[in-house]
Amino acid sequence: MTPNQTLNGRYKIIRPLGEGGMANVYLAHDLILDRDVAVKLVRFDMQDDVSAIKRFQREALSTTELVHPNIVGVYDIGEEHGMNYLIMEYVEGQNLKQYIRDQFPIPLGQVVSLMSQILNGVQTAHYHGIIHRDLKPQNILIDKHGKAKITDFGIAIANQQSSFTRTNTVIGSVQYLSPEQVRGHIATQQSDIYSLGIILFEMLTGKVPFEGESAVSIAVKHYQDQLPLVKDFNTKIPQSLENVVLKATAKNPIDRYKNVAEMAADLKTVLQPERANESKFVEDSLVEHTIVLNQDELKQGLAKDEVEKTRPIKLKMNNKINFAKKEKAPDAEESHMHRFKRRHPLRRRALFMAMAAVAFILGILIAFKLSSPQMVQVPNLEDLTQKQAMTKLSKVNLGVGKITKEADDKTSYNKVVETLPQSGKYVQEGIKVNIVISKGPNSFDVDNYVGSDYSSTKKQLEAKGFTIKKRKIVTNRFDNNRIISQDVVSGQVVVPRVTTITFTVAN
């Protein structure tokens, strides 16, 4: 797009605002409502990617539900000359990445305020069942009044498949990527919470926690390395605030905040005096249980052992032992040696405690394993009805997410076109699978069905979305159940789902 070019006869392009991994953004003026807007156009090199375009449109539609002061509003969705676009609220200001660079160090009170606004926006999205998947400072705008607004909700999923092939794009995203996303698992609310923790880390330190020469090396660090401590960058940061970062970025999602509301509530009080002496947060899954032995009992046991060791030597050195005693001495010594080899009660107690500790640790590991979400494969639902799809998903402990309908030339009316995640993907049990249902083709060239069998024709056309009616006429000129005439003219182009065809049938 070039300046002064008009999109859809309404949005006059003023100048480019930026480029992303999937779309370019322009400042434009709405000629009807007389206001500035942001126009997001799918990049030219992705216009032919049918899968990406479908997801762009579907996710864009879902974000129209998100009306919140901390989320960039979506006003309009459309297509012109093959160009798919979004019309969004124009936020005059800069993104959070630029804001951190220009304003660092940011006062702690301001960090808490901005982060609270971001959490409020994400909480609204999660309430509507929408996970951002690509939260990073570049997707958070700060307006001229200091208000934070999140953008690009849902767009990340359309870019997900190509992210590791676009180096410049993925470097910006992988620095905020959760460990489970690195492993290829589907993103959850806890994945967004991890990204929010990394954003908070950057606001406090001015840096991202992990850097590297490639996206893969950074991703591995998120999976393996412990996060640096923010207090090492600034000792004035209270432990309570560092704890929010540590809990949000726990490697195991179970150790993170259960939801964004819990994180927001914790962040709200971090600067209060009563939390000044808070202890450092430690992930439950990393806690090791150590058994402490009683030192006095241990010393007494060792002393008794020394006494036991000296007895055989004293028996050998006694010169007054008679012959009879000498004959019995080996038996006595052998008996004593057997007695010495028996474990001391303290040793038995220590062994028992060690075994109990091992059993306890094994129990924890088994419980963790059992409580961890199991991975299941998304079944193939194509060409199933909505009811059949729901039944098949429930059999593998998966739920049904958002159900949308779209035109499709290849899939029968009211049958499943595709799912998100796609069939064959492994996901956690309990995840909700979004389903796309076919509305049939957008347009259809009606054929001449005179002389055809009514039953087979009816079945064929209903699969396209038509409503079929039958009018019977008694006649000997046509075989029984043959179509005599039709009320929609052959060659007429119609939209099946809003068209009724009445056939006159021989009886």
Active site residues: 134
CA gap 239, 245 in Å, rounded: 10
Which tokens hold the place of 291?
Answer: 């058994």
Burial of 229 (0-12, 13-18, 19+ CB in 10 A): middle
- Cα–Cα distance list, 29 to 5, 82, 214 (Å): 11, 21, 40
Strand partners for 37: 28, 89
Q: Is 40 annotated as a binding residue?
A: yes
CA gap 452, 455 in Å, rounded: 9
| Residues 309 and 337 sit within 8 Å (Cβ to Cβ) | no
Measured at the CA of 393, the angle between CA 392 and CA 397, to 5 degrees, comes to 125
CA gap 138, 449 in Å, rounded: 58
* Residue (of 401, 408, 503, 393) closest to 465 by Cα position: 408
- Terminal C-alpha separation, the chain: 62
Q: Is 254 helix (H, G, I), strand (E, B) or coil?
A: helix
Which tokens hold the place of 202?
Answer: 């950057």
Binding-site residue set for ATP: 40
